[in-house]
């Protein structure tokens, strides 16, 4: 055999072979996104909820150098508690693998591994995108170019709240990545239901989403389909508050000279402290909604295949 093997659990291998619904889940959310011990609870809850809906969960990450699709509960636990762990985007995978390290996989790396394992649907919280000032700094996430070349379906609540959303939507257009609202034409703003940006299309049911995905596959297009699923308006952060909060967060980052890679953790931490943890509750709520919808879409896709 050539190439570095991707470790795929027996449960996931069997479900994919049988055409049963499977949803991929990323690990950055519990290795770098959420604080302990909540991170582990959220990761395990997502798996439980999918199982309860008759869907096989496939949590993806790098365990001791092995890119793994369908991490065991013990492995998720260990990764969620480890202090020696890299944030692994796609370019980092070979390095983390060869050096035998643990890695939490970003949307880009998770999408790649999910696709390689034959998984068609992937649920996450927020996508990476274009950072403010990217015209000078070139700071845009590898999620963008990876999703342009990886035909999975990604359910998210938009992009990270601290990004330049308008510029990110322009990049999705350039890269031929379709962005479809779930029951809305307003692009969600992660912590808030409506970011203030319009998108062209919406679907109203998981079956409709499944037909879009099947059409993408029929046309043999290589891009991901993005399903944008807004948080329940009753559970969002107050939108007026978020604008004002983000302005203060950016001002503080500038004052302290925080730039580049360090800015995301700084800004998210600022938001968390400033909202006394409410942003965290919203983050978890957003993720739950996306996991649920991902399960429904995977189920509708499996049914569509059975019909054919
Ligand atoms: N959304 C968040 N926090 C995060 C991420 C998304 O609210 O930490 C992670 C995802 O894993 C995403 C990654 O793929 O950040 C993008 O990071 P970068 O901009 O460094 O590519
Ligand atoms: Mn970056």
Q: What is the pTM of this model?
A: 0.96
DSSP 127: B
Sequence ranges of the domains in the chain: 7-234+290-307
Q: Which residues are catalytic?
A: 26, 160
State the maximum Cα–Cα separation within the chain, in Å, rounded to a whole number: 59
Q: Please work out whether the CB of residue 290 comes within 6 Å of at least one atom of ligand 1.
A: no
Per-residue pLDDT, 262: 81
Q: Is the dihedral of CA 93, 97, 99, 100 positive or negative?
A: positive
Residues in the chain predicted with pLDDT less than 70, given as ranges, are 1-4
Q: Is the dihedral of CA 253, 254, 256, 261 positive or negative?
A: positive
Per-residue pLDDT, 202: 98
Q: Give the 3-state secondary structure of residue 37.
A: coil
Q: Residue 217 and residue 49: Cα distance in Å, rounded?
A: 28
Per-residue pLDDT, 5: 84
Domain 7-234+290-307 CATH class label: alpha beta
Residue 142 known to bind ligand: yes
Per-residue pLDDT, 173: 98
Choice from 28, 35, 114, 192 to test ligand 1 binding pocket (greatest atom count within 8 A of CB): 28
Output the CA 243–ligand 2 centroid distance in Å. Answer: 22
Q: Hey, whose CA ends up nearest to atom 1 of ligand 1?
A: 126
Q: Residue 265 and residue 46: Cα distance in Å, rounded?
A: 23
Residue 143 known to bind ligand: yes
Per-residue pLDDT, 119: 98
Report the candidate in 200, 208, 202 with the shortest Cα–Cα distance to residue 230: 202
Q: How many CB atoms lie within 10 A of CB 74?
A: 9
Q: Hey, whose CA ends up nearest to atom 20 of ligand 1?
A: 141
């Amino acid at each position: 055999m050539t190439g570095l093997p991707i470790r795929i659990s027996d449960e996931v291998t069997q479900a994919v072979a049988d055409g049963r619904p499977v949803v991929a889940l990323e690990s950055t959310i519990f290795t770098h996104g959420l604080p302990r011990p909540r991170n582990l609870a959220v990761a395990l809850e997502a798996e439980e909820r999918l199982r309860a809906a008759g869907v096989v969960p496939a949590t993806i990450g790098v365990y001791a150098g092995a890119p793994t699709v369908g991490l065991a509960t013990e492995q998720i636990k260990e990764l969620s508690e480890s202090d020696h762990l890299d944030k692994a985007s796609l370019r980092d995978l070979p390095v983390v693998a060869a050096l035998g390290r643990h890695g939490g996989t970003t949307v880009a790396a998770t999408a790649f591994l999910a696709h390689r394992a034959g998984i068609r649907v992937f649920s996450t919280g927020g996508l990476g995108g274009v950072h403010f000032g990217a015209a000078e700094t070139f700071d845009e996430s590898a999620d963008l170019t990876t999703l342009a070349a990886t035909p999975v379906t990604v359910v998210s609540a938009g992009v990270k709240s601290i990004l330049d959303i308008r510029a990110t939507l322009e990049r999705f257009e350039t890269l031929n990545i379709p962005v479809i609202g779930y029951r809305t034409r307003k692009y969600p703003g992660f912590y808030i239901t409506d970011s203030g940006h319009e998108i062209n299309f919406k679907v109203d049911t998981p079956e409709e989403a499944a037909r879009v995905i099947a059409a993408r596959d029929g046309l043999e297009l290589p891009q991901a389909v993005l399903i944008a699923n807004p948080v329940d308006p009753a559970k969002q952060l107050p939108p007026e508050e978020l604008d004002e909060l983000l302005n203060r967060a950016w001002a503080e980052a500038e004052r302290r000279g925080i730039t580049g890679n360090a800015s995301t953790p700084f800004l998210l931490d600022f938001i968390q402290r400033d909202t006394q943890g409410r942003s965290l509750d919203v983050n978890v709520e957003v993720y739950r909604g996306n996991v649920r919808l991902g399960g429904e879409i995977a189920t509708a896709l499996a049914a569509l295949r059975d019909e054919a």
